Amino acid sequence: MTKQNSSRTAAIVGAGQTGVTAALGLLDAGFEVTVYSDRDQRALRDDVPATGTALEFGEAQGAESALGLDTFVDRAPRHSGLSVRIAGPESAELIAFDGNFDGYVGLAVDTRLKADERLTRFQERGGRFVVQSVTPETLDPIAAANDLTLVATGRGGLADLFEIDPVRTVYAEPQRRLLTVTVTGLGYGPEVFAHRSLDGGAHSGFSILAEQGEAWWGPYLHKDAGPSWAFLGWARPGSDWEKRFAAADSAESAHRIVQDLYRDFVDWDLPEVLATQVISEDPHSWLKGAVRPVVRTGVGATAGGHLVAALGDTAVAYDPIAGQGAQSGLIQAQRLVAAAATHEGQFDREWLETRYAEFLGARSDAASRVTRLFLSDPEFGDIGNRFFPAATVDPQFASALVGLLHRPQPFLDIASTDAADAYIQHVTGQEAAGLLSQFQPAGRFERSRFEAVA
């Protein structure tokens, strides 16, 4: 017999931003929902770093809005574009373009703040919050007692309950070492990063150094400091940057390492970087590590044979170079909630696997491919060698290229240089070879003349 929505129960393990987003959504859809978390609410907010920068664009914000949730668009500084610089071997300054976000904005909100607010709202509306570190053994009775059990414990946690998909998982190890730190001291006016674009501090800045890695600065909403800036760096294996990142052991040292890095390698942006200051009230405002991009099968079973579904980073972990992880998790959560709200039967294996396959097809497969493009994966080298110069020549293509961070789907079918050329022509109206023949290497990037106000 079909159960009524009001009597259905759901358990979510993990109170990161993906888990609490799904929990609130299911609660609003009439489920009785319990969230299990290995930390209490205060510790989730104040004792850990943010999981990542979590920059999101229009499609992911649309998923949050569809669940009736605040996207923070009225509180977070808005990104209106991405300004790219690429230096090749021997530091040759090659590519400079500025892509405007076309019809959407980027927002990077502290995952701790977002999860905290949603968790408060969840409990105010009658959701049950249980502080318990769930193990595979204790998950069994939880899954037995609930109609739907979602595991959103991040990349570690209970992820091993879900097998790795060997076809979709292409890397045996992380492709970069990461360092991130959030800082204050810089506004968002046109005078900030003015040498990069007319939009100045409203555009995030991304620099790619072929021999070292990648470095990004973008406006951020920090849980304590409010509007601020985040740095995120990627070091290639064996690079000098990798050694520098490894030395970080505090917010202060991470900040110093980033300033030295800009002095030594990315001097076109140095004055802005030197104007930034550490967020003294948050000792967890930095993070280092690495992410192996992994796609798991979305459905697992406990020892007693009860089904559980993977959500967020537990299901798919992305290197953050194309900003896909948080976006993917939120979209997956929204799709799952929308489907569960109208589903009248049991949440059996077929239902769970079909929803997961739909999510992979609708977002995740494309997001993984765009991540590989931005990681300069050799498999996409010839495509990248067309796309980045094309973006330099044509502003519409620059917008389309950075737009893949918002909607990666167009890249799903681009698997050859012919397909890449056809996409360039589709976006610009110009034949790709002709357009690319106009490309001229930058020679020397414009340097910042920013003067910090004392």
Q: Under the rule (CB under 6 A), what is the footprint of ligand FAD?
A: 13-19, 36-39, 44, 51-56, 111, 133-134, 152-154, 157-158, 178, 180, 232, 287, 291, 312-313, 320, 323-327, 329
Nearer to ligand FAD, 156 or 429 (CB): 156
- Grouping H, G, I as helix, E, B as strand and the rest as coil, residue 204 is strand
Amino acid at 427: V
Tell me which H or E stretch contains 121. Answer: helix 111-124
Burial class, 42, CB count within 10 angstroms (exposed 0-12 / middle 13-18 / buried 19+)? exposed
Which residue number, 161 or 414, has a Cβ lying nearer to ligand FAD?
161
Closest separation between CB of residue 422 and ligand FAD, Å?
28
Nearer to ligand FAD, 84 or 291 (CB): 291
Nearer to ligand FAD, 180 or 184 (CB): 180
Q: Which run of H or of E encompasses 233?
A: strand 226-235
CA gap 41, 16 in Å, rounded? 10
For the beta carbon of residue 221, count every other beta carbon within 10 angstroms: 21
For residues 195 and 205, is the Cβ–Cβ distance under 8 A?
A: no
SS3 210: coil
Q: To the nearest whole angstrom, how small is the minimum distance from the Cβ of residue 273 to ligand FAD?
A: 18
Closest to ligand FAD by CB, 201 vs 233, is 233
Rounded to whole angstroms, the Cα distance separating 167 from 295 reads: 9
Counting other chains too, the contacts that 380-385 makes at CB distance below 8 Å and 24 or more residues apart are 382/417, 382/420, 383/414, 383/416, 383/417, 383/420
> Residue 372 in contact with residue 379, Cβ under 8 Å?
yes
Residue 153 or 376 with smaller CB distance to ligand FAD: 153
Alpha-carbon distances of 34 from 142, 177, 229, 243, rounded to whole Å: 10, 36, 35, 43
Please, which residue, 158 or 352, has the CB nearer to ligand FAD? 158
Residue 21 beta carbon to ligand FAD: minimum distance, rounded to whole angstroms: 8
CB of 10 to ligand FAD, least distance (A): 15
**CB 60, min distance to ligand FAD, A:** 7
**Strands, E assignment, 52-92:** 55-56, 81-87
Instruction: Compute the least distance from the CB of residue 57 to ligand FAD, in Å.
Output: 9
Query: Nearest-CA neighbor of 375 among 323, 420, 442?
Result: 323
Q: How far is the CB of 388 from ligand FAD (least distance, A)?
A: 20
Q: Select 212 or 328, whichever has its Cβ closest to ligand FAD.
A: 328
Q: How far is the CB of 287 from ligand FAD (least distance, A)?
A: 6
